[in-house]
Amino acid sequence: MTFEEILETRNRTNAFGNLLGIRLTRVEQFYAEAQVEVREDFLNPQNAVHGGLIYTLADLCVGGAACTAGDPPGMMVATVDGTFHYLRPGIGCRTLYAKSRKIKVGSRFMVFGVTVEDQTGRVLAEGIFTYTSLGKPLGSA
């Protein structure tokens, strides 16, 4: 599966991501980017972006990168765990962007870092996620 096919398949088949409007925008070997437009109903009582949206954006971004790690690329993956740090509140955000980076890809587990920024480049959160392959091609149920 090509990286473009991984991007298209992940965007098409991710019902929860689609509900929130989260889209993968770039997928390369061990790397992905994603974004979401912030809607008023994504704000918490402090008028900041809800942490759950920020975490979900990060998780979906890393999932796109983890799908590229197989041989061949394009296998279904699952989150094993995630450590996440909120660094500042998402006040006044219009768009959020996530960028992943490979830390280690082993035979059973893949570890990626991720950064979430707003439209000004202000870093809101950083995390580390571990994924594992499910051994099935993307798009197979």
Q: Which residues of the chain have pLDDT under 50?
A: none
pLDDT tens, position by position, 70-88: 888 999 999 999 999 999 9
Domain that holds residue 117: 3-137
Three-state SS letters, the chain: CCHHHHHHHHHHHCHHHHHHCCEEEEEECCEEEEEEECCHHHECCCCEECHHHHHHHHHHHHHHHHCCCCCCCCEEEEEEEEEEEECCCCECCCEEEEEEEEEEECCCEEEEEEEEEECCCCEEEEEEEEEEEEEEECCCC
Which pTM was predicted? 0.96
Count of domains for the chain: 1
Residue-level pLDDT at 7: 97
CATH of the domain at 52: 3.10.129.10
pLDDT at 141: 66
